[in-house]
Chains A and B, each alone.
Chain A
Amino acid sequence: MPDGYSSNLARGADVNRGRVVGMKIHDCHVFMECLLPIAFNSLPTPVLNPIIEISHFFKVLCFTTLKEDDLTRMEQNIPFILCKLERIFPPALFDCMEHLLVHQAYKARLGGPVQYMWMYPFKR
Chain B
Amino acid sequence: MEEAPNEQTQRFYNLLLDANTPLYERASDSKLSMWVKLLACKSNWDIPDQCLEFISKMLLDVAPTNSNLPKSYYDAKRLVSKLGLEAKRIDCCVDDCMLFYDNGSNKNDGALLECKFCHKPRNHDHNTGVSNKKPVPVKAMFYLPIIPRLQRMYASTQIAGEMTWHYDNKSSNGVLRHPCDVEAWKHFHRVYPDFATEPCNVQLGLCSDGFNPYVQASNAPYSCWPIIFTPYNLPPEMCMSKPYMFLSCLIPGPFNRKAGIDIFLEPLIDDLKKLWSGVLTYDISRKQNFKMRVTLIMTINDFPAYGMLSGWGTHGKLACPHCMEHIKAFRLYHGGKNCWFDSHRRFLSNDHAFRRNKNVFKKGEVEMDGPPPKLTPTQVWNRVKNYPKVTDPGVQRIDGYREWHNWTKRSIFWDLPYWKDNLLRHNLDVMYIEKNFFDNIFNTMMNVSGKTKDNEKARMDSNLYCRRKDLELKSHDNGKMFKPKANYTLAGDQIKHVC
Contacts and interface: CB of A to CB of B under 8 A. Distances in A.
Contact of A67 (B176, B314, B466, B492): B176
Interface in A1-32: 13-16, 18-20, 25, 28-29, 31-32
Given A58-B434, A87-B360, A112-B182, A97 B497 contact: no
Nearest to A80: B348
Given A25-B431, A115-B240, A97 B471 contact: no
Contact of B303 (A14, A29, A96): A96
Contacts of A124: 242
Given A47-B488, A97-B440, A110 B232 contact: no
B454 A93 contact: yes
Interface string B461-485: 1100110100100000000000000
Contact of A96 (B181, B340, B427): B340
Given A87-B361, A90-B461, A92-B457, A51 B341 contact: no
Interface in A24-48: 25, 28-29, 31-32, 36, 39-40, 42-44, 47
Nearest to B354: A83
A100 to B, nearest CB: 6
A113 B180 CA distance: 10
Nearest to B334: A92
Nearest to A13: B499
A96 B338 contact: yes
Contacts of B232: 116
A43 B495 CA distance: 11
A25 B302 CA distance: 13
Contacts of A111: 179, 182, 184, 298, 424, 427
A42 B433 contact: no
Given A82-B344, A86-B361, A87-B361, A25 B462 contact: no
Interface size class of B (residues with CB under 8 A): 35 or more
Contacts of B335: 92
Contact of B341 (A28, A80, A91, A119): A91
Contact of B446 (A18, A92, A110): A18
Contacts of A109: 176, 182-183
Interface string B302-320: 1100000000001000011
B236 A88 contact: no
Residue of B314, B441, B446, B459 with highest tally of chain A CB at under 10 A: B441
B347 A102 contact: yes
B490 interface: yes
Contacts of B338: 95-96
A99 B437 CA distance: 10
Contacts of A14: 499
A117 B427 contact: yes
B462 A39 contact: no
Interface in A67-124: 67-69, 71, 76, 78-80, 82-83, 86-104, 106-124
17 contacts: A28-B434, A61-B430, A76-B349, A86-B342, A96-B319, A98-B437, A98-B440, A100-B303, A109-B176, A109-B183, A110-B423, A112-B178, A112-B181, A116-B239, A117-B430, A119-B207, A123-B209
Interface of A: 13-16, 18-20, 25, 28-29, 31-32, 36, 39-40, 42-44, 47, 51, 54, 58, 61-62, 64-69, 71, 76, 78-80, 82-83, 86-104, 106-124
Interface of B: 174-185, 205, 207, 209, 228, 232, 236, 239-242, 245, 298, 300, 302-303, 314, 319-320, 322-323, 329, 332, 335, 337-349, 352, 354, 360-361, 374, 423-424, 427-442, 444-448, 453-455, 457-459, 461-462, 465-466, 468, 471, 486-488, 490, 492, 494-499
Given A67-B175, A95-B440, A121-B245, 16 more contacts: A15-B496, A18-B446, A18-B496, A19-B446, A36-B442, A42-B490, A90-B459, A92-B454, A93-B441, A94-B340, A95-B339, A96-B340, A98-B340, A99-B323, A112-B184, A120-B431
